[in-house]
Amino acid sequence: MSRKFTPKVVTANHLLEGDAVWLTEDDRWTRDMREAEFLEDEAHAQMRLLDAQSQPNVVVGAYLANAKMGREGPEPTHFREDFRTRGPSNYFLGKQAERQA
C-alpha cells in the first residue's frame, strides 16, 4: 500500500556559494523558503525536481523536502530543513547576520 503524498518544496545548495536555496514557481532559486513553490501534487513535484536536477551549473544536491503552508508561505516540517533556513551555524553570516540587525 502506498503512502499518501505529503506537500513538498524543491531544495538544493547553491553551487558557488553553498547556501540552501529553494525553487520558486517562476523558476528562480531563492534563499527564503517562504518564497518556494508549495507542491501538493506528487507528479508535479517529481517534474519540478527533475527541472532542478537539470541545473548542475547552478545548484547541487536537489531534493524534495516535506513542507507545510504557513502564514507567509511554505515552512519546514523537519528540524533539518528548519536548520537549513537559518544559514551557516558556525558564525553569523548571511541570513543569521541579517536577523541580528
* pLDDT at residue 99 is higher than 70: no
Provide the β-strand partners of residue 59.
14
Residue 74 per-residue DSSP state? E
Taking residues 2-25, what's their average pLDDT? 93
Residue ranges of domains in the chain: 8-100
Is the CB of residue 12 less than 8 Å from the CB of residue 19? no
pLDDT score of 80? 84
pLDDT tens, position by position, 44-94: 999 999 999 999 999 999 999 999 999 999 999 988 888 788 876 555 555
